[in-house]
Amino acid sequence: MTTGLQHLHSFIPYLFLPILLLSTVTFLVKFLGKNSFTKGDKILGLSTLILSHLQLVFGLILYFAGSKGFTFTKIEGFMKDPELRLYAIEHPSIMILAIGLITFGYSKAKRLTRDSKKFTTLGLSFLIALILILSRIPWDAWLA
């Protein structure tokens, strides 16, 4: 089962990262241009949210059921090894923080009435999430 999940967790970022980048740029540019919030903007934000939550669910299962992740915390001195530390602590915690930001931005924007406020809330929370995500992807393993 974990092999299928590994493939999914590895494949989804090919969709999720471009969509997160596209929505971040769209929301920030639309804020500057004083545009109105359309149905397309809502779909873009929702797609980003759904993909991030899929990554979260698959990631959590892999963390506890897979060979990397929680198992690494049982290895003595794992915090001194950059690769073990990345999978055991940094990748999951930073990704959870980033997904939390995406969720916060999406739900806060939903309750706002002014379109410009919706765009800043979404644009800024998605931008910070994107930076956090890019900083903790295991690039070597992913692109190998």
Q: By CB under 6 A, name the binding residues for ligand HEM.
A: 6, 9-10, 13, 16, 52, 55-56, 59-60, 62-63, 66-69, 87, 91-92, 95-96, 98-99, 133, 137-138, 141-142
User: What six digits make up the tokens of 11?
Assistant: 């494949």
30/68 with CB nearer ligand HEM: 68
User: What six digits make up the tokens of 122?
Assistant: 């979404």
State how far the Cα of 65 lies from the Cα of 3, in Å rounded to an integer: 11
Number of neighbouring beta carbons within 10 Å of residue 59: 20
13/78 with CB nearer ligand HEM: 13
Please, what is the minimum distance in Å from the beta carbon of residue 2 to ligand HEM?
7
9/30 with CB nearer ligand HEM: 9
Number of neighbouring beta carbons within 10 Å of residue 96: 14
Please, what is the minimum distance in Å from the beta carbon of residue 72 to ligand HEM?
9
Please, what is the minimum distance in Å from the beta carbon of residue 18 to ligand HEM?
12
Q: Is 98 exposed, middle or buried (0-12, 13-18, 19+ CB in 10 A)?
A: buried
52/125 with CB nearer ligand HEM: 52
Q: At what angle do helices 2-32 and 115-135 cross, to 10 degrees?
A: 140
Please, what is the minimum distance in Å from the beta carbon of residue 52 to ligand HEM?
5
66/105 with CB nearer ligand HEM: 66
State how far the Cα of 24 lies from the Cα of 41, in Å rounded to an integer: 11
Please, what is the minimum distance in Å from the beta carbon of residue 107 to ligand HEM?
17
